[in-house]
Structure 1
C-alpha cells in the first residue's frame, strides 16, 4: 500500500466516493434495483403522491425516461398508478406497500454502508468526521460556483445526464 501521508484530501475523497459507490451498487444489485429506480422510490417516499411529470422534474429526467422507469417499478409491484381525481389525463404515482418495504430495505443498505465507513471509529471520531465533512460541504457551497444555491439546486445543476441503463 502506498504511503498515505502524502495523499491529497481530494484524492482521498475521490477514492472514498468510488469505493462507497461500488459497495452501494452491489447492494442495489442484490435488491434488483438500479440507482435511478432507488431515487424514484426515495422521492415518492418523501413526497407522497406525485404526477408522473412532477416526479420526472424532481428526479431530473425526461417524461419518456420516467415512463420506462415507472413501467419497470410497476411491474415489480413497487409503485401504483392512479388517475387524478380532477383531471383524468394526469396519472398520479405512489408507493405500494411493497415499495414502502423496499425503501426500508434501502435505508438499511445506507445504514450498513455507514457502519462499514465508520468501522473502527469511536463515537467522538464519528461526530468529528461528520462535522468536518459538513464544514467541507459548506466551504464548497460558499464557493463562487454555488454561492447562494441550496443543495437541491446544486445537485440539479451538477447531475450527470442519465443514460438509458440507469433506470
Structure 2
C-alpha cells in the first residue's frame, strides 16, 4: 500500500516519524538522540524548569525524561541543580555546550522546514496551517473529553 492510499492519520504518523528521523540524521554528531530536540528547544526557551514540569510540558513520562537527562548530562549538555527552596526538586539548565547544540537543532529544523515546503506556495502553506490547527483543536477537545473526571 503506497502512502497516498493510506488513511490520513496513518499518513500524518508516517510524516511525523520521517520528520523525526530526518532531524536525527541532520544532528547525527553523537550528542543529540531521537526525542531530545524538543527537550533542548524547551530548555532553550525556558531554563530552570523542574523535571516534573518538563515531563508535563513535553507530555512524556518522568522516567523517560530522567533517561534523556542523564544522557545529556553525561555529554555536558545539561546540568541539574537542586531547587533553592526545596532540595527535593531538581531544576534543569542548559550548559554553554547545550545552548550551542540547541541552536544547531533550531537551525536543522529550519533547514528541514525549507525542504518540506520547497514546492508549496504561500497560500498552500497557509491552508495547510489552517488544516493542522483544526486537527490540533479537534485532538485537544478529544483530550479534554477523555481526561475529564466524570469520564473515568
Settle same-fold status: TM greater than 0.5. yes
Q: CA deviation at 1:33?
A: 1.4
Q: Report SS of the residue matched to 2:80.
A: strand
Q: For the structure 1 residues 141 and 92, does the alpha-carbon distance in structure 2 shift closer, same or farther, using more than 3 Å as the test?
A: closer
Match of 2:31, SS state, is coil
3-state DSSP class of the match of 2:119? coil
Does 2:143 match 1:146?
yes
Q: 1:147 to 1:19 in 2, by over 3 A?
A: same
Find the aligned partners of 1:104 and 1:70 in 2 and give their Cα distance.
Answer: 18
Distance change (3 Å), C-alpha of 1:148 and 1:47: farther
2:31 counterpart of 1:35:
no
Shift of 1:8: 5.2
Matches within 5 A, 1:1-167: 7=5, 10=8, 11-30=10-29, 32-59=31-58, 60-63=60-63, 65-142=64-141, 145-147=142-144
**What is the Cα-based RMSD across aligned positions, in Å?**
3.2
Following superposition, the deviation at residue 91 of structure 1 comes to 3.3
Change (3 A) 1:131 1:22: same
Distance 1:58 1:135, change over 3 A: closer
After superposition, the Cα gap between the structure-2 partners of 1:128 and 1:98, relative to the gap in structure 1 and judged at 3 Å, is: same
State whether residues 74 and 80 of structure 1, in contact with CA within 8 Å, keep that contact through their aligned partners in structure 2: yes
Secondary structure in structure 2 of the residue aligned to 1:80 = strand
Moved more, 110-119 or 81-90: 81-90
**Per chain length, whose mean CA-contact separation is higher, i.e. which structure has more relative contact order (CA < 8 Å, sep 6+)?**
1
Aligned to 1:157: none
